[in-house]
């Protein structure tokens, strides 16, 4: 992976990949949402209310995936000093926070007709809320510390410590008695969802994943350019001081 550490090489590769990612994301998202919202049959118990899963489930999955990506990138930055690792984690944080907020919001909309309330201090819901605060804390470190190298180290530690919350979110429905339903896709014995509902759901999950890749690439490009501009400004300021 060190061959991608060079910012110029990364930018060249990214500019080739990103447009294709955007196109495939748009097509797969349109197909998945149309299939799920308008073609898939109603649930025999929940009626059409269940259709929110085509946004809620991918958002919930991506909230954890994005944080896991941040934790891995942070570990790479600490251990191997990969130049783009910290920037990758930083680029992913706002996207993961949006996915987490969307998961909580759609979950509350689903909870009202299913449980009779928008919110309850269920283990899954509470640990997901903690995840949102971890995202805020990570982003806050980058904004609060002016020294970029120090900010990267502290933010990486926050990301790695916060990763302990991921298995709690994943297995909370198995470890505690909660209102939240257990896993219905990745479970032993196969998915418990009917194929007419499962296939559009998997397409939506794929589209959300590809959306994440697309926006992360865009944000990394932006961070690289901003860093280059900042370096140029510092050099120009130093030259003015020497000539002045």
For residue 232, pLDDT beyond 80 = no
| Predicted pLDDT at 5 | 63
Is the residue at 231 inside a domain?
A: yes
For residue 242, pLDDT beyond 80 = no
The percent of residues above 70 in pLDDT, for the chain, comes to 92
For residue 186, pLDDT beyond 70 = no
| Predicted pLDDT at 90 | 96
Is the residue at 169 inside a domain?
A: yes
pLDDT band at 81 (very low <50, low <70, confident <90, very high): confident
Is the residue at 234 inside a domain?
A: yes
Total domains, the chain: 1
CA 24 – CA 17 distance, rounded (Å): 11
Which residue did the predictor score with more confidence, 28 or 81? Answer: 28
Overall average pLDDT of the 118-141 stretch: 93
Is the residue at 38 inside a domain?
A: no
| Predicted pLDDT at 153 | 95
Overall average pLDDT of the 112-122 stretch: 82
| Predicted pLDDT at 189 | 57
pLDDT band at 126 (very low <50, low <70, confident <90, very high): very high
Is the residue at 26 inside a domain?
A: no
Overall average pLDDT of the 159-180 stretch: 86
231 burial type by CB count under 10 A (0-12 exposed, 13-18 middle, 19+ buried):
exposed
| Predicted pLDDT at 244 | 61
Is the residue at 47 inside a domain?
A: no
Tell me the residue range of the domain where 163 lies: 52-180+191-243
Structure tokens at 23: 């196109």
Overall average pLDDT of the 34-58 stretch: 88
107: alpha, beta or left? (left if phi > 0; alpha if psi -120 to 50): alpha
pLDDT digits (tens, 9 = 90+) for 4-41: 567 778 888 889 999 999 999 999 999 999 999 999 99
Is the residue at 108 inside a domain?
A: yes
Is the residue at 15 inside a domain?
A: no
pLDDT digits (tens, 9 = 90+) for 198-214: 899 999 999 999 999 99
């Amino acid at each position: 992976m060190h061959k991608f550490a060079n910012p110029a090489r990364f930018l060249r590769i990214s500019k080739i990949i990103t447009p294709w990612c955007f196109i495939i994301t748009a097509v797969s998202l349109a197909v998945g949402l149309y299939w799920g919202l308008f073609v898939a049959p109603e649930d025999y118990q929940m009626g059409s209310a269940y259709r929110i899963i085509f946004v809620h489930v991918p958002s919930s999955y991506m909230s954890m995936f994005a944080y896991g990506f941040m934790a891995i990138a942070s570990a790479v930055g600490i251990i191997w000093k990969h130049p783009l690792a910290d920037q990758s984690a930083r680029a992913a944080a706002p996207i993961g926070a949006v996915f987490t907020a969307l998961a909580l919001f759609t979950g509350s909309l689903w909870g009202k007709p299913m449980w009779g309330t928008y919110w309850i201090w269920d283990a899954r819901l509470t640990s997901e809320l903690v995840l949102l605060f971890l995202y805020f804390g990570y982003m806050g470190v980058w904004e609060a510390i002016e020294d970029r190298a120090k900010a990267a180290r502290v933010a990486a530690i926050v990301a790695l410590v916060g990763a302990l919350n991921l298995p709690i979110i994943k297995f909370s429905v198995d470890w505690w008695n909660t209102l939240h339903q257990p896993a219905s896709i990745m479970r032993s014995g196969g998915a418990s969802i009917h194929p007419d509902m499962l296939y559009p759901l998997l397409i939506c999950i794929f589209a959300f994943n590809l959306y994440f890749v697309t926006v992360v690439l865009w944000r990394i490009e932006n961070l690289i350019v901003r860093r280059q501009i900042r370096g140029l400004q510092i050099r120009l300021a130093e030259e003015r001081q020497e000539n002045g």
